[in-house]
Amino acid sequence: MSHTATLSFSETTKTAVEFAAALSSVLNDLNVFKITTCRSTKRISSKKKKMFTPLPDIFYYYNEIVSTLGEGTFGRVMRCIDHRRGGAHVALKIIKNVEKYKEAARLEINVLEKINEKDPDNKFLCVQMYDWFDYHGHMCISFELLALSTFDFLKENNYLPYSIGQVRHMAYQICLAVKFLHDNKLTHTDLKPENILFVNSDFTMTYNVEKKREERTVKSTAVRVVDFGSATFDHEHHSTIVSTRHYRAPEVILELGWSHPCDVWSIGCILFEYYLGFTLFQTHDNREHLAMMERILGPVPSRMIRKTRKQKYFHRGRLDWDETSSSGKYVRENCKPLRRYLLSEAEDHHQFFDLIEGMLEYEPTKRLALADSLKHPFFENMGHGEGGGSKTWEGNRDISR
């Protein structure tokens, strides 16, 4: 039974008004416009509009705003209590009253509703949206509460890489989640470690005598894919440039058009980062990015060079790149052929690199599809000691331990 069943009308009203007051305070803090709350039943006063408006019904299910979880250009994410879920804590994403952010929120809600419709039991590990509402022009979206992102955990752990077993378990879940999106004619377009969140980021601490530092090991590697603000359906307009720079596929850089394979490239980059603790393509320049790709993966295919309209990056069918320049030196000193990043000669490490080589194929049509990725030998020995948490099944395989 939800907690709301035990509250009197006056108590529920008081709770709703208090929640509205707290939310108004957050909105005021975003410096968009001022809102004041009225203590009379189900009425909120807006100084700007000089009128009374009823509280959304959803307010009667919330108890309080607990804390701030994060902040960005879009607005803020708050930790709240939801009575309908037995007093469970949820994440409430509050969008600034700015049209471009509101439009992005509407698009994200559309995608999340499609995901909920296709996966009501949340078997495919995409973040679950509970509710959404518009409050004084601010889009507010309620999500299941998750923990640290895989990037934030890495950062707080001094960029100590995840173990090969942890990488395997996270990789399988990410591939499963994104395959689900692709099967439903969606491309995420912004996959990165910041958008892969742990369900629970509790950890054990050990002291590394050799390195003289404390090191964290996450207890459970159960993850969820989040942030569908840039997700694009197959039939929708495809923006020319998508993805965060370090995880951007070559066909996007060369403006050759993109589809589901651009997500696979991003996953390959993410898995490399989990394994080594640093970004594979650490750059902010297209030409340098392509030079890094060539240093790590070999030459850009001639077909892609012939087809691209970005001919300024090439000369006589080859990348126009000065290896003697400061950028050339940077690439030479910081990049090397992919297999030379191996940390061990053990079979599972070689299998892992075989997997990411398939994901980092230049040609989108030759890139490993996620259905094939999930059948890769790297995942055959996914042990029961990897991960932790609730069970999610793919066939007979428990992939969210």
CA distances from residue 214 to 164, 198, 205 in whole angstroms, order as listed = 20, 21, 6
Give the amino acid at 60. Y
Q: How far apart are CA 261 and CA 249, in angstroms?
A: 8
93 is in an annotated binding site: yes
CA distances from residue 394 to 125, 179, 220, 374, 384 in whole angstroms, order as listed = 11, 12, 18, 10, 15
| Catalytic residue ranges | 190
Angle between helices 261-276 and 164-183 (to 10 degrees): 170
Q: How many CB atoms lie within 10 A of CB 114?
A: 17
CB 141 within 8 A of CB 129: yes
Summary count for the chain: helices (H), strands (E):
11, 18
The residues with which 206 forms a beta bridge, in sequence order, are 215
Residue reference for tokens 């994410």: 77
Q: How far apart are CA 369 and CA 267, in angstroms?
A: 11
Would you put residue 258 in left (φ > 0), alpha (ψ -120 to 50) or beta? beta
Half-sphere exposure of 18 (CA within 13 A, CB side): 14
HEC profile for 91-135?
Answer: EEEEECCCHHHHHHHHHHHHHHHHHHHHCCCCCCCECCEEEEEEE
User: Which residues, in sequence order, are CB contacts of 67 under 8 Å at separation 6+?
Assistant: 78, 79
Q: How far apart are CA 228 and CA 189, in angstroms?
A: 9
Q: Residues comprising the binding site for ATP?
A: 93
- Residues marked as binding? 93
